[in-house]
Chains A and B, each alone.
Chain A
Amino acid sequence: MTTPPMVSLTIEGRPVAVPAGTSILEAAKQVGVLIPHYCYHPALPVAGVCRMCLVEVEKAPKLAPACATAVAEGQVVHVHTDATHKAREGVLEFLLINHPLDCPICDQAGECELQDYTFQEGRATSRYEEPKRFNPMEDFGGDVLYVPNRCILCTRCVRFMDDVAQDPVLNVSERGDRALIGKAPDHDLTHPWAANVVDLCPVGALLSKDFLNKARAWELDRTASVCPNCSQGCNTIVETRDNVVVRLRPRANEAVNQHFLCDAGRADYRWMNRTDRIVHPLIKVGAEHREAGWEVAMATLASAVRTRPVHVVASAHSSNETLFLLRALIAIAGGRGVFTVRSEGVEEPLPGVPDLARRTERAPNARGAELLGFTRTADPLREVQDGDVVLVVDDALEGIDLAPLARADAVVFAGTVIAPALAQRAVIAIPLTNVVEEEGTFTNLRGRVQRYLQAKTPPALARPGWFVFAELLRRLGAPTPGFVPADIFQALAAQVPPFEGLSYDQLGLQGALVRAEVGV
């Protein structure tokens, strides 16, 4: 593969060198210059229609669209001149003449590029005195509503459906200022990735029905995370309002999901807010569970596993850090670790992005569990030995025959929601945090280790798995790597060869591949 030659140019007085063929707009990003734009999106074919990104290129006769103009050697580009400001102010005025000023009731307000650029560079008042164009709102099917009056015809949605989803159900209908986004008759936005058009829409023309009127953009707290719903490991932003998850959105990662998140993944967040779960440590006294403090619970747990081998039913939903400490526990106490993964449906790819699909393996960390020595099985209790302590971590054991638990000396559950049948047998139940209540890492199906951050506070006494098992190891007299996930991960990287050389610093928010995948 030949690499294209580098081209040097100057943008807003800043020198930059980029590969030939790069657009001025992308080159400007590299030196921290944002050229305002609407229709351009790095994951979509260039349309060059909004004309917002017009810049002045010295010696060129006209203003040039930065998104559609390739860099040239020695080019001198100006983003902020009288001519470009006038051009952008003109575009903003044109876009606004038929745009309803309904920001107070628009979901996009606060994260609207039309608002932002108008605030920065637009006219303070309108010169438009004629009646505004009106078209009624339309249900596009799936999770998507279309509000044509707000639409600026950037065609990002059309290009996404044509070129990325490759399900061309959207189009530009009509001409002139009657134009609007049309939908093919008898087709809806039911493609498994169609809801990305809502994120792509720079204004409030395409709305999520699920998020409709739920929150104002400025009320949301945003946290970098990883989608826990399948083994693809799409990078996400978890948005909470008052400690309640209200929306999941894609976070850009060129190596995993580019800018996209599947409809199922983004819709599956309500369980993160569940309240019907264990939030205090529970200890069985007689026939019933009693709430206990952490000190009593941990002492009980430590004494239960001190003298007996453990049969750990781990979870592909647990972090690498939690799984690593469980592995350490098995090393001390003897026993084995297994896990099951729910697998269903068929892969639902996004055709325009290589190796991106909603996977049938509906858990985020099966690969990590395997790399950390856990055995994948369909029957996690089959190997329970007489006298074992069975430690079930964040697996509800749905549809599993619990009879083998009778062989165990004790059954301990750690997790969020405990199934009634399991609750009957568990002597101790430990409340763990869920994925948005803790920090950690997952390893996706391609061996990419990715961090997720804590998006909300956990309920009552719930603690992260890695904290609980680090404390357990300490009580068992084993060396503990510490009580913060970065330190635990450091120990993991030092002791488990596939993870060698990795660290939280190195992972950053884009992740890194395990050694086996790097080919070392």
Chain B
Amino acid sequence: MGYPHRPHPRETPVLSAHFGDPDARSLTGWRTRGGYVALERALGQTPGAIVDEVKASGLRGRGGAGFPTGIKWSFMRPGDGKPHYLCCNADESEPGTFKDREIMRWTPHALVEGVAIGAYAIGATTAYIYIRGEFTEPLQRVETAVREAYAAGILGADAMGSGHRIDVHVHRGAGAYICGEETALMNSIEGKRGNPRIKPPFPAVAGLFGQPTTINNVESLAAVPHILTRGAAWYQSLQLSNPKSVGTKLFSVCGNVARPGNYEMVLGFPFGEFLEDVVGGAPTGRKIKAVIPGGSSVPMLTRDEAMGAVMDYEGMIAAGTMLGSGGVIVFDDSQSIPRMVARLARFYAHESCAQCSQCREGTAWTTRILERICAGEGTYADLDTLLDIADNMTGKTICVLSDSCAAPVVSGLQKFRHEFEALIPKKQNTVAVAAD
């Protein structure tokens, strides 16, 4: 549903079917809408059968990387004698992304159910939901849902009478973007500074508290009950373009569009039609100039590129960007790309965890140069320096925050260089002409 607007006919509401419906928030409300049927059924199956079902569905991680969820779960080896953990990444901080927030606000039990199924499937008795510090309302909704689920015996030592223990802890972050990086998130849960860890070891080998851990995005886990209820084949059938990109995905649309909000689309939907028809295009009298399709960390697209792109993992890669988190940021022709890039760089400079030299210094340096250019004090050499700094910041650090800062700089300069050049004073040129 195009929450907060009425659903658009071309949407396919699965996760968002109950957005805007306050009655869906409570346990009884959720049960009357089909809730916890999937969990009850799952607890009667073997964990392996659930993993196979999710594998067969083709569900891919909705946090940004798009790694197949079932395969990720299958990395958790049963019977290895170690405690397993499930972490739900609800630290949604990617600029332009606000889909998990709505899942937690309107259907917190969908998440709790998905978390419980996921924990059971990977052999974990303990799961953590790590919620971004600023998400006060979602935190309250999820905490209430967890409390209700414990009171009803859905969670706890004997989850739904199955004899299996499933404990869910809600952990509130302190508002650091980097804590959405999976290993930083684990450090944060452990009470340490939220610094990303070097991989390997990967979380499935040594994650939370050094034990095998799976970490999934809110949207991925919330989709699991639907897959188990309606079947992998149904989920597989939700595809429009590429058989590797199936199911529905929430797209958070913000910026210069007529109807910003969350839209649930079947993957493979044409991006051009989405922008012009579903979200209503640019405000009246304006024209879309650029689009960031998957949260601020992915390269931006020009209008033409965006109009021809396809909304799935492969389609966005073909367009030179990534599907990412599905945070669609739209800029119309009233916006300045250099100012927008400078604003994004400032965000990354503020949020860098300060471990890696390239990121700590590079994000801040990039920001200072961009802000100087925006203040009309840039030079042409600055533009080359920016690209070289971006190159030095890409692919060389522990996590991808550094790359994420470089991406909009590079794509902005590649695609809108004239806007940057327009901000550079022409004084030197004028002097040269006059002397001639």
Using a CB–CB distance below 8 Å, which chain A residues touch chain B? 46-52, 54, 62-63, 65, 68, 86-87, 90-91, 93-95, 97-98, 127-130, 152-153, 171-172, 174-179
Contacts and interface: CB of A to CB of B under 8 A. Distances in A.
A51 B360 contact: no
Contact of B349 (A91, A172, A176): A176
Given A52-B357, A179-B360, A94 B395 contact: no
Given A91-B357, A98-B361, 4 more contacts: A95-B361, A129-B372, A175-B350, A177-B361
A130 B372 contact: yes
Nearest to B365: A97
20 contacts: A46-B198, A49-B398, A51-B357, A54-B396, A62-B396, A63-B395, A86-B391, A87-B392, A90-B391, A94-B362, A129-B372, A171-B193, A175-B176, A175-B350, A175-B353, A176-B349, A176-B350, A176-B352, A176-B363, A177-B360
A159 B391 CA distance: 30
Contacts of B352: 175-177
B145 to A, nearest CB: 32
Given A65-B198, A127-B385, A90 B392 contact: yes
B58 to A, nearest CB: 25
A251 B396 CA distance: 33
Interface of B: 176, 178, 193, 198, 349-358, 360-365, 368-369, 372, 381, 385, 391-393, 395-398
Contacts of A68: 198
Nearest to B346: A176
A144 B349 CA distance: 30
Contact of B193 (A87, A94, A130, A172): A172
A175 B361 CA distance: 11
B378 to A, nearest CB: 10
Given A46-B198, A65-B198, A176-B360, A153 B396 contact: no
Given A86-B392, A176-B349, A177-B360, A51 B365 contact: no
Contacts of A175: 176, 178, 350-354
Contacts of B395: 62-63
Contacts of B361: 94-95, 97-98, 177
Contacts of B391: 86, 90
A15 B365 CA distance: 41
A153 B360 contact: yes
Contacts of B350: 175-176
Main secondary structure of the interface of B (DSSP, over half): helix
B357 A94 contact: yes
A-B pairs, top 10 by smallest CB distance, nearest first, are: A90-B392, A179-B354, A177-B364, A94-B361, A130-B368, A49-B355, A176-B352, A48-B198, A94-B357, A68-B198
A158 B219 CA distance: 38
A51 B353 contact: no
Contacts of B396: 51, 54, 62-63, 87, 90
B200 to A, nearest CB: 9
Contacts of B353: 175
A90 B395 CA distance: 12
A102 B353 CA distance: 27
Contacts of A54: 396
Contacts of A47: 355
A94 B393 CA distance: 10
Nearest to A90: B392
Contacts of B393: 90
A130 B358 contact: no
B351 A128 contact: no
A91 B358 CA distance: 6
Contacts of A94: 357-358, 360-362, 365, 392
A152 B357 contact: yes
Contacts of A129: 372
Contacts of A128: 365
Contacts of A63: 395-396
Contacts of B372: 129-130
B358 A90 contact: yes
Contact of A95 (B198, B354, B357, B385): B357
A130 B357 contact: no
A176 to B, nearest CB: 4
Nearest to B398: A48
Residue from A52, A86, A174 whose CB has the most chain B CB atoms within 10 Å: A86
Residue from A127, A172, A175, A178 whose CB has the most chain B CB atoms within 10 Å: A175
A87 B362 CA distance: 13
Nearest to B362: A94
B356 A49 contact: yes
Nearest to B348: A176
